[in-house]
């Protein structure tokens, strides 16, 4: 089962006015270039948005049930100098259904990573998540 996450696409005219604002359920990473959100669901149907805690400019953690019970760590790095792409890394401490969305807030391009119900969260090491050409800032 997959989730339908809201994803308003920015218009090209307004692209220079768009920036990420962190919140209790989302992270802004890589110079506020990317927004990160997580949605979770348990086997009994309980669900919700992950609570976000910013750790560094490029990383943060999410909790699902209690703020002192961390479930997921995520970071987005600018690896363009190495391979022309921005990288997404994530690791989880959960076996509930998870949908992790990373969005380039200036272009609307996004990557969605899913963990199925009952499976331990497998590490994400996507070193080609967003190509340098696709994330160029609109000036």
Contact between 54 and 27 (Cβ < 8 Å): yes
Predicted structure pTM score = 0.81
**14 has pLDDT over 60:** no
- pLDDT for 105: 87
pLDDT bracket for residue 9 (50, 70, 90):
very low
Q: CA 89, 76, 35, 49: dihedral to nearest 10 degrees?
A: 30
3-state secondary structure of 80: helix
**6 has pLDDT over 90:** no
pLDDT digits (tens, 9 = 90+) for 50-94: 999 999 999 999 999 999 999 999 999 999 999 999 999 999 999
- pLDDT for 133: 66
CA distance 60 to 46: 23
CA distance 104 to 137: 10
pLDDT digits (tens, 9 = 90+) for 114-134: 999 999 999 999 999 998 765
């Amino acid at each position: 089962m997959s989730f339908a996450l809201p994803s308003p696409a920015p218009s090209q005219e307004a692209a220079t006015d768009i920036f990420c604002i962190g919140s209790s359920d989302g992270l802004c990473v890589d110079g506020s270039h990317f927004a990160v959100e997580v949605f979770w669901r348990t086997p009994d149907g309980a669900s919700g948005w992950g609570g976000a805690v910013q750790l560094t400019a490029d990383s943060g953690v999410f909790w699902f049930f209690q703020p002192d019970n961390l479930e997921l760590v995520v970071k987005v790095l600018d690896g363009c100098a190495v391979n022309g792409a921005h990288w997404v890394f994530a690791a989880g401490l959960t076996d509930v259904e998870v949908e992790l969305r990373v969005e380039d807030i200036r272009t609307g391009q996004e990557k969605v990573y899913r963990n199925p119900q009952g499976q331990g969260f497998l590490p994400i090491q996507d070193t080609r998540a967003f190509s340098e050409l696709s994330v160029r800032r609109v000036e």
